[in-house]
Amino acid sequence: MVKFTSTSVDVKYFLHRVVNLRGSRHLGDIAPTGPAMNDLTKPHVFDATAATFEDTVIRASMDTPVLVDFWATWCGPCKTLGPLLEKLAADYHGAFVLAKVDVDAEQELAAAFQIRSVPMVMLVKGGQLVDGFPGALPEGQLRDFLTHHGIAPAEPVIEDQAPAEAAPPVDPHAEVMRLRRAIDAEPDKAELKLDLALALLQTGAAAESEKLLDALPANLATDDRTVKARARLGFAALLKDAPPVEVLHAAIAADPADLRARHFLGVRELVSGNAEAGLQQFIEMLQRDRAFGDGLARKSLIDAFRVVEDEDLVGRYRRRMSSLLLV
């Protein structure tokens, strides 16, 4: 195996190498070489490009480990390893996802990761490059590699266990990819750009989301969804210098009365789409010290009520806020 360090390597280092190679100033300047065409029969396998890598690999790896397969059409061993990795992705039922990078189509990405030969496989977890291996391994060794990193097969999703009327939750990163492809096909359809702005906001890409909202035509600029999105951007602006979620959780665990950490965590949860978790942090602040930050908890709750779309949830937390303020 290829160990990168005992503490792993931040993958963004490699993405910035892509930027330097292309002479761009921002990751967002990287132009796609083509849409990532994913096979709907393989839900845990997708094509990764320099344009989509930050969303679909780095950010996605915060929740689910991502195995990155650098391959080429002319590579004999790749034709053996690729199907094995795809089989394991299916067998593991989403315990990890497989990102495939065609080194000929994505030469800058391959150069940034210093790929000297293919196949080359790298494992990304928690936004970090933690391990990898060159060449085609047999299935048994591949399973050992996954086990070594705490990746075990998940239970398969049984469709009939869920209520028939309940739609599966939408992965915002996958939605961003889908909408980018839709906009490529219909670049003049402004409604798609509004949908993309909303999806980007859920992934934390506030700057790109704001740029799309600013460019909307007048009829969509006053749309209720646009108004709510701009309110969420106001929350997102508060996170510019905020610590990561893990640091905030650790701070609260060490000191439950750390109301500044609770406020940042509440805002992070709200911006990422976890409305109830965000509202709960603001309620905790109100319970502990309603005067903190010149009434910051109350102000945050009122602002959040303008953003959250679930009316029942807003009603419940309005009542909780009122009962606490009356004490």
pLDDT bucket at 73, cuts 50 / 70 / 90:
very high
Q: How far apart are CA 51 and CA 53, in angstroms?
A: 6
C-alpha to C-alpha distance for 105 and 102, rounded to whole angstroms: 5
pLDDT at 30: 40
How far is the C-alpha of 323 from the C-alpha of 327, rounded, in Å? 7
In angstroms, the Cα distances linking 229 to 110, 205, 207 are 36, 12, 12
What would the mean pLDDT of 146-157 be, rounded to a whole number? 85
Return mean pLDDT, the chain: 82
Give dist(CA 255, CA 291) in Å, integer.
18
pLDDT at 242: 82
**Which one of the listed residues 19, 66, 78, 130 is annotated catalytic?**
78
Tokens 């059409």 belong to: 73
3-state secondary structure of 146: helix
Q: How confident is the model at residue 7 (pLDDT cuts 50, 70, 90)?
A: very low
Q: Of residues 30, 50, 75, 198, which has the active-site annotation?
A: 75
Q: Which CATH class is domain 245-326?
A: mainly alpha
Q: For CATH 1.25.40.10, list the domain ranges present in the chain.
A: 245-326
pLDDT in tens, 166-193: 556 678 888 899 999 999 999 999 889 9
Q: What is the pLDDT of residue 24?
A: 43
Q: What is the mean pLDDT of residues 140-159?
A: 84
pLDDT the model gives residue 26: 41
Q: What is the pLDDT of residues 229-265, one digit of tens each?
A: 887 787 777 777 788 889 999 999 999 999 999 999 9
17 compared with 29, residue with greater pLDDT: 17
Start-end of H helices in 113-217: 139-148, 172-185, 190-203, 206-214
Asked if pLDDT for residue 311 goes beyond 50, the answer is yes
Tell me, which fold does domain 2-159 have in CATH? Glutaredoxin (3.40.30)
86: amino acid identity, one letter: E
The answer to which of 12-26, 32-46, 190-204, 277-291 has the lowest mean pLDDT is 12-26
The pLDDT value recorded for residue 33 is 38
Model pLDDT, residue 51:
86
- Give 112's pLDDT tier (boundaries 50, 70, 90): confident
Q: Average pLDDT for residues 105-125, to the nearest whole number?
A: 92
Q: In this predicted model, which residue has the larger pLDDT, 176 or 156?
A: 176
- Among 6-15, 164-173, 220-229, which stretch is predicted with the lowest mean pLDDT? 6-15
**Range(s) within the chain of domains with CATH label 3.40.30.10:** 2-159
pLDDT tier at 63 (50, 70, 90 boundaries)? Answer: confident
Q: Is the dihedral of CA 39, 45, 48, 54 positive or negative?
A: positive
Q: Who has greater pLDDT, 210 or 96?
A: 96
Of the listed ranges 57-71, 153-167, 280-294, the one predicted with least confidence: 153-167
In angstroms, the CA 162 to CA 143 distance is 30
Q: Is 133 a catalytic residue?
A: no
pLDDT at 53 over 80: yes
pLDDT exceeds 50 at position 34: no
User: What is 251-288 written as a DSSP string?
Assistant: HHHH-TT-HHHHHHHHHHHHHTT-HHHHHHHHHHHHHH
Q: Is the pLDDT of residue 3 over 60?
A: no
**pLDDT for 5 beyond 50:** no
78 is catalytic: yes
* pLDDT of res. 17: 61
Give the model's pLDDT for residue 158: 59
